[in-house]
Amino acid sequence: MSKAGSKKDIKRRKITFALETSDAKKVILMGDFNNWNPKKHLMKKDGNGIWTKTVMLFPGKYEYKFMVDGEWKEDPQNDQKCLNCFGTLNNIFKLPS
């Protein structure tokens, strides 16, 4: 029998990131949850110009950004930001436990 609240009981949850940019050709979700890997989370565009990607995340605090046609872009729907080591801003996402 496991203890309630133990580390084994903490589960990942589905989180969907979205970005509206109808003229983009390629959008990638990158963050510390995927080691900023440009091959890990390619986003898909719907018929309305909204790019989405659903990822599985453990509770915690994450930094992320979008790569839109080779250019970094902040999430305009998220005003939670922090300074990164390059002197620009990353968005912050907090997933409560």
- List, edge to edge, every strand of the sheet that includes 44-45: 13-20, 50-57, 44-45
How many residues are listed for the chain in this entry?
A: 97
Mean pLDDT of 24-49: 96
Q: What is the pLDDT of residues 37-82, one digit of tens each?
A: 999 999 999 999 999 999 999 999 999 999 999 999 999 999 999 9
**Mean of all residue pLDDT scores within the chain:** 92
3-state secondary structure of 57: strand
pLDDT exceeds cutoff 50 at 92: yes
Question: If pLDDT is split at 50, 70 and 90, which confidence band does 9 have?
Answer: low
pLDDT of residue 10: 76
pLDDT exceeds cutoff 70 at 2: no
pLDDT exceeds cutoff 60 at 1: no
Partnered with residue 21 across adjacent β-strands are none
| DSSP code at position 80 | -
pLDDT of residue 97: 86
pLDDT exceeds cutoff 50 at 3: no
Token readout for 66 is: 């979008």
